[in-house]
Chain A
């Protein structure tokens, strides 16, 4: 999301570097770039105009001051403005004092409501709640069936009554009270904002259940229409927050930013993958960092915490520092990494990754050869890869269906990595708890990890970007 914008900003900074002062002509040129980046990201035309005007004012102001590098001044202006628009804090769900907390889902057809409903139920479960799903989409064939399947997958009961959507919603809440479920999520049929009859129906559903939260599901790929849709739904239902779906594609999601700006309601959740747990609370401040190419370390670390067993990781890390890290450990950690979600997504969120790596298409299937090779080794070979001789290599290659050359490259790489890690372990020991990752940057072809180090070990803040 927003890759293009951060790339362009990079370009601008490079071009302006070395210029002592910005002229108004420079600013105009920069503004053109920013404008087209925003438009290509599907930010609403009107929002683009107002955003650009504000950035321009800042940037013009910057031409008069000599305090900072002009390129940085412009980036700062963009950064401030984006942060302001994405704005505020993460939406904190306040549960109803008298359960159940009722949640109403609304949106256009195909925006991903039913899937988001299932994922939200899963999320509430992970928060220790007991949700009930209510299928009030009686319009689309098999929509309730889809919800039931999702309900089974996340182990949450589903209520529906095929007679009438308003009645179903109402009875659903009653059912939740009866069953003692503390959260009710009502899925409704997709509807066009200009379909008066259907809008009236969802208003009636809302009236029948008086939801604590009404979420509007918006597809991250939506174009200019998002604003109109959001306004129409907000007008009818009083939206409390937006759920941004399909954010795992390459859509830049500018529409969502516009919606926040126009109806003034935050993006509460974002759906980032096909799996049911690929759903997270939306953190506007982190997103601003991501837009500016600072990566999204916080989200990554949270995901990592879920995937890696803490004590297991601790042991592995200790062995690593002492240079005793084995291929078994590596395999184990790699599998944990896979649990964090698609590799390409993880790489995208890592700060300091070179563009070629970020854009490289690495599917989880690409890991299979590596796993195959390691699996084809004996326990002894995994513990001490240096014993792998010509005949062992040929056997491993046969067993994994790979070339012997690939086996030896993997072993060689692993050896280099081990050495590197040992060195690192020693210097990290000297530096004490700062625990950075020095030495990595020097490794051949290795991405520059200094920013990462800074974020993880230091007090935050990325060098080169003004705060």
Chain B
């Protein structure tokens, strides 16, 4: 961004706000003088773009008016939702219930995919293909259509390398580093905790590096996991430099000939430029010492909607993401967005979190995932 532009924008913003505050104060002062009588509240809803001065004058909290019970206008909507869901149990029972493939069939399928957060683009691509084949009479039966859809989806997920890469040709004293990145609250720390235990059980020595120096008590949370699995643990000061914590972790692991460093990072929204820059630095510094970053795993929460694609794009840009961990798949969310992430961005899904137990972090299986996309609770 050129300095010139920033200055211009700033100049405007500074003026506008400085002046704005002044003007509004004046207007308000005038108003209180002029209109001593309380303005009667109109019964009708106030116009959308009300006078700014007015709205600021109201301290909305202290307003003595009773809370207006929100009108549940479309009372039947909930019923409709419930019905929609019932109908969906199967999306497939609906499709199978018809003797032929009709417009409703396509609507049902589209809805099923959208509801699983697969996204409009991918959904249209999948169904567009199938429509061609139905048109060409390749597919004529509803059941065959369902099979074809699932088969197509699994096929699109074939051929990716899903192994979580551990380079055992590295010299002793040169640890593998797996870095974990993602937005806030997706389950990075928990994923590391589970993985640490699994790696220990499979005979590797592990060190956890608490690179989340931002969130209150994040290091304590990781420390608890380290204790549970009896692995080494490195942390820094709260608010300290995450790069140096991870660097220290790698150094300590190198000195003690530990095989694997699991590096936690603070959750960050992918839109925060400065935080993403910080992450780039963490990624660079992690390889400054004896360690090699063999995996950078993006953790995505199954409840994530279409925003997941933007997340994956930005994190890949910043840290060269090598795989996705899909967490919280044990809830009612189906995590369809990772389908788009893998097929559109080519980032393979490697691990799936399906519960609270240590063993509930498992390798991703395309066929299981696709069939679960259509399951309902």
Residues on A lying within 8 angstroms of B by beta carbon are 36, 39-42, 44-47, 50, 83-84, 87-94, 108-112, 115, 127, 140-143, 145-150, 153, 192-194, 219, 221-229, 231-232, 246, 248-252, 254-255, 260-262, 264-266, 274, 281, 283, 285, 288-289, 294, 297-298, 300-302, 304-305, 307-308, 310, 313-314, 316-317, 320, 330, 333-334, 336-337, 340, 342-344, 346-347, 350, 357, 360-367, 369-370, 402, 406, 409-410, 413-414, 417, 421, 433, 435, 437, 440, 445-447, 449, 452, 455-457, 459-462, 467
Q: Looking at the assembled complex, report how far the CB atom of A159 sits from the nearest CB atom of chain B, in whole angstroms.
A: 17
> Which A residues are CB-close (under 8 A) to B37?
none
Q: Which of B8, B27, B193 contacts A445 (CB 8 A)?
A: B8
> Which B residues are CB-close (under 8 A) to A402?
3
Q: Looking at the assembled complex, report how far the CB atom of B94 sits from the nearest CB atom of chain A, in whole angstroms.
A: 14
Other A-B contacts than A334-B10, A342-B272, 9 sampled, CB-CB below 8 A, are A94-B67, A149-B238, A221-B311, A301-B24, A302-B56, A350-B13, A366-B1, A370-B10, A449-B12
> Which B residues are CB-close (under 8 A) to A227?
81
Contact-residue bracket for chain B: 35 or more
Q: Which of B1, B55, B186, B330 contacts A298 (CB 8 A)?
A: B55
A-B CB contact pairs (8 Å), 27 listed? A40-B306, A83-B48, A88-B68, A94-B66, A109-B328, A110-B185, A112-B185, A145-B220, A146-B221, A148-B216, A149-B216, A219-B301, A221-B311, A223-B336, A225-B334, A231-B81, A248-B271, A250-B310, A281-B61, A298-B55, A302-B56, A337-B13, A370-B6, A413-B8, A417-B15, A433-B26, A446-B12
Within 8 A of A (CB), among B171-197: 183-187, 193
Q: Looking at the assembled complex, report how far the CB atom of B336 sits from the nearest CB atom of chain A, in whole angstroms.
A: 8
Pair A112/B18 contact, Cβ less than 8 Å: no
The residue of chain A having its C-beta at the shortest distance from the C-beta of B10 within the complex is A334
> In the docked arrangement, what's the CA distance between A320 and B51, Å?
26
Given A227-B81, A461-B49, check contact A110 B15 (CB 8 Å). no
> Which B residues are CB-close (under 8 A) to A255?
305
Q: Which of B49, B117, B120, B334 contacts A36 (CB 8 A)?
A: B120
> Which B residues are CB-close (under 8 A) to A140?
221
> Which B residues are CB-close (under 8 A) to A340?
17
> In the docked arrangement, what's the CA distance between A88 and B270, Å?
32
Q: Which of A219, A334, A336, A367 contacts B303 (CB 8 A)?
A: A219
> In the docked arrangement, what's the CA distance between A141 and B115, Å?
33
Q: Looking at the assembled complex, report how far the CB atom of A136 sits from the nearest CB atom of chain B, in whole angstroms.
A: 16
> Which A-B residue pairs are the 10 nearest by beta carbons?
A223-B305, A110-B185, A149-B216, A42-B305, A225-B333, A141-B224, A142-B220, A146-B217, A264-B72, A145-B217
Given A46-B80, A460-B51, check contact A435 B307 (CB 8 Å). no
The residue in B19, B30, B224, B308 that gathers the most chain A C-beta atoms within 10 A of its C-beta is: B19
Decide if B111 is an interface residue (CB 8 Å cutoff). Answer: yes
> Which B residues are CB-close (under 8 A) to A437?
15-16, 19
The residue of chain A having its C-beta at the shortest distance from the C-beta of B54 within the complex is A460
> In the docked arrangement, what's the CA distance between A264 and B75, Å?
9
Pair B186/A455 contact, Cβ less than 8 Å: no
Given A285-B48, A313-B21, A446-B12, check contact A150 B56 (CB 8 Å). no
> In the docked arrangement, what's the CA distance between A45 and B84, Å?
10
Pair B215/A308 contact, Cβ less than 8 Å: no
Pair A225/B331 contact, Cβ less than 8 Å: yes
Residues on B lying within 8 angstroms of A by beta carbon are 1, 3-27, 30, 47-52, 55-56, 60-61, 63, 65-68, 70-74, 77-78, 80-81, 84-85, 111, 114-117, 119-120, 183-187, 193, 214-218, 220-221, 223-225, 238, 269-274, 301-308, 310-311, 328, 330-334, 336-337, 377
The residue in B55, B220, B270 that gathers the most chain A C-beta atoms within 10 A of its C-beta is: B55
Q: Looking at the assembled complex, report how far the CB atom of A367 sits from the nearest CB atom of chain B, in whole angstroms.
A: 7
Pair A357/B7 contact, Cβ less than 8 Å: no
> In the docked arrangement, what's the CA distance between A93 and B318, Å?
42
> Which A residues are CB-close (under 8 A) to B336?
223
Pair B306/A223 contact, Cβ less than 8 Å: yes
> Which A residues are CB-close (under 8 A) to B13?
337, 343, 346-347, 350
> In the docked arrangement, what's the CA distance between A295 and B9, Å?
16
Q: Looking at the assembled complex, report how far the CB atom of A464 sits from the nearest CB atom of chain B, in whole angstroms.
A: 12
Pair A229/B303 contact, Cβ less than 8 Å: yes
The residue of chain A having its C-beta at the shortest distance from the C-beta of B214 within the complex is A274
Given A249-B307, A406-B3, check contact A314 B67 (CB 8 Å). no
Q: Which of B22, B72, B74, B114 contacts A45 (CB 8 A)?
A: B114
> In the docked arrangement, what's the CA distance between A89 and B21, Å?
25
> Which B residues are CB-close (under 8 A) to A225?
117, 302-303, 331-334
Does more than half of chain A's interface fall in helix, strand or loop, or is it mixed?
Answer: helix
The residue of chain B having its C-beta at the shortest distance from the C-beta of A435 within the complex is B23
> Which B residues are CB-close (under 8 A) to A304?
17, 20-21
> Which B residues are CB-close (under 8 A) to A194?
331-332, 377
Given A142-B220, A228-B332, check contact A460 B306 (CB 8 Å). no
The residue of chain B having its C-beta at the shortest distance from the C-beta of A286 within the complex is B55
> Which A residues are CB-close (under 8 A) to B269?
246, 248-249
> Which A residues are CB-close (under 8 A) to B73?
84
Pair B27/A433 contact, Cβ less than 8 Å: yes
Pair A87/B70 contact, Cβ less than 8 Å: yes
Given A150-B216, A223-B303, A435-B19, check contact A297 B52 (CB 8 Å). yes
> Which A residues are CB-close (under 8 A) to B119?
39-40
> Which B residues are CB-close (under 8 A) to A301?
17, 20-21, 24, 52, 56
> In the docked arrangement, what's the CA distance between A71 and B36, Å?
43
> Which B residues are CB-close (under 8 A) to A260?
70
Q: Which of B72, B220, B307 contacts A250 (CB 8 A)?
A: B307
> In the docked arrangement, what's the CA distance between A365 and B332, Å?
41
The residue of chain B having its C-beta at the shortest distance from the C-beta of A225 within the complex is B333
Q: Which of A330, A363, A452, A459 contacts B14 (CB 8 A)?
A: A330
> Which B residues are CB-close (under 8 A) to A305?
21, 24, 56
Pair A360/B1 contact, Cβ less than 8 Å: yes
Q: Looking at the assembled complex, report how far the CB atom of A165 sits from the nearest CB atom of chain B, in whole angstroms.
A: 16
Pair B63/A149 contact, Cβ less than 8 Å: no
Pair B331/A192 contact, Cβ less than 8 Å: yes
> In the docked arrangement, what's the CA distance between A127 and B61, Å?
8
Q: Which of B9, B49, B77, B304 contacts A455 (CB 8 A)?
A: B49
Pair B21/A310 contact, Cβ less than 8 Å: yes
Pair B1/A361 contact, Cβ less than 8 Å: yes
The residue in A47, A109, A305 that gathers the most chain B C-beta atoms within 10 A of its C-beta is: A109
Pair A91/B67 contact, Cβ less than 8 Å: yes
> In the docked arrangement, what's the CA distance between A337 and B270, Å?
23
Given A89-B68, A142-B217, A446-B12, check contact A41 B49 (CB 8 Å). no
The residue in B10, B85, B310 that gathers the most chain A C-beta atoms within 10 A of its C-beta is: B10
Given A194-B332, A250-B271, check contact A294 B183 (CB 8 Å). no
Pair B274/A363 contact, Cβ less than 8 Å: yes
Q: Which of A42, A45, A231, A289 contacts B48 (CB 8 A)?
A: A289
> Which B residues are CB-close (under 8 A) to A447?
9, 12
> In the docked arrangement, what's the CA distance between A88 and B46, Å?
11
Pair B5/A193 contact, Cβ less than 8 Å: no
> In the docked arrangement, what's the CA distance between A291 and B61, Å?
24
> In the docked arrangement, what's the CA distance between A232 and B5, Å?
49
> In the docked arrangement, what's the CA distance between A140 and B19, Å?
48
> In the docked arrangement, what's the CA distance between A417 and B27, Å?
26
Given A250-B310, A449-B12, check contact A460 B49 (CB 8 Å). yes
> Which B residues are CB-close (under 8 A) to A300?
17
